[in-house]
Amino acid sequence: MINVKNLSHDFVMGKRGQQSTLPVLRNISFEVNKGEIVALAGRSGSGKSTLLNLISGFIRTTQGEIWVNDTKVTDLTESEFADFRLQHIGFIFQNFQLIPSMTAYQNVELPLILNGESASVRKKRTEETLQKVGLLEYRDHYPSELSGGQQQRTSIARSLILNPPLILADEPTGSLDSETEQELLQFILQLNKELGITFLIITHDDEVARIGNRTVHIADGSLTQGGTI
């Protein structure tokens, strides 16, 4: 599902003519197989968020290759990557990234609108997906009217709406209490088992890492111990 080959990345710092480069990732190579849950673990500043952003195409690589679902995404233009991302990758964020002026229903429906689906298709699939995450009765609530766990489930519903084979999660339990965290982790396991969705989860939480098939460790921009344990 994900194949990263000899990936390196630098950030350019400073004004033109006075620029310097800051190495962030160095010679990263690893794979995530279809149907796996893989945790990407490392301290703050280790490069794990940069790696996730490179895989998702939010920033472009300095050197190396990234393949997602048999497509070499490092060869795609920004517009091509945006279309690919919509169809193939779902996202779960620590801070949910819900649009505050939209209801839960409207937040979940949005990818369908961007995908050009008809009103009847949008209604059916949005209601089905909200039902799947147990939030259909909260469809008309705004994010500020939902608990943290309900907001995260709304975010998950939005990530599922186009049936992506891959979900990238960036500290998905970071804003949740311990009880809600356990509920979310069980839900991720359920989605993986029932729908075969592949998960790559950034975390520094051992509880989150334990649900994975394996853990990839990153430190100072490099994989440690060959990248897996």
Split at pLDDT 50, 70, 90, the class of 14 is: confident
Query: What pLDDT, on the 0 to 100 scale, is given for residue 143?
Result: 96
Give the model's confidence band at 225: pLDDT under 50 very low, under 70 low, under 90 confident, else very high. Answer: low
CA 91-96-102 angle, 5° bins: 105
For the segment 81-91, the average pLDDT, to the nearest whole number, is: 93
Residue 84 CA to residue 57 CA, distance in Å, equals 10
Parallel, antiparallel, or unpaired: how do β-strands 214-219 and 37-41 relate?
parallel
**Could you tell me the residue ranges of all domains in the chain?**
33-61+76-228
User: pLDDT value at position 211?
Assistant: 93
Phi, psi of 185 (to 5 degrees): -65, -40
pLDDT category at 79 given cuts 50, 70, 90 is very high
- Average pLDDT over the chain reads 91
DSSP states of 125-143 as a string? HHHHHHHHTT-GGGTT--G
Q: How far apart, in whole angstroms, are the C-alpha atoms of residue 21 and residue 6?
A: 19
Number of H helices, E strands in the chain: 7, 10
Burial code of 121-143, b = ≥16 C-beta within 10 A, e = fewer? Answer: ebeebbeebbebbebbebbebbb
**pTM higher than the cut 0.85:** yes
> Are the C-beta atoms of 150 and 83 separated by less than 8 Å?
no
Among 29-33, 44-48, 75-79, the minimum mean pLDDT is found in 44-48
Stretch 23-34: mean pLDDT, rounded? 93
Q: Which CATH architecture has domain 33-61+76-228?
A: 3-Layer(aba) Sandwich (3.40)
Q: Tokens standing for 62?
A: 């300095």
Residue showing tokens 């729908």: 195
The pLDDT value recorded for residue 29 is 94
pLDDT at 73: 95
What whole-number distance in Å separates Cα of residue 147 and Cα of residue 226? 40
CA separation for the pair 68, 137 (Å, rounded): 35
Nearest-angstrom CA–CA distance, 139 and 109 = 11
Task: Output the six-digit token pair for 103.
Answer: 């209801």
- Residue labelled with tokens 């949910």: 96
Placement of tokens 């049936």 in the chain: 163
Q: Name the residue type at position 115.
A: N
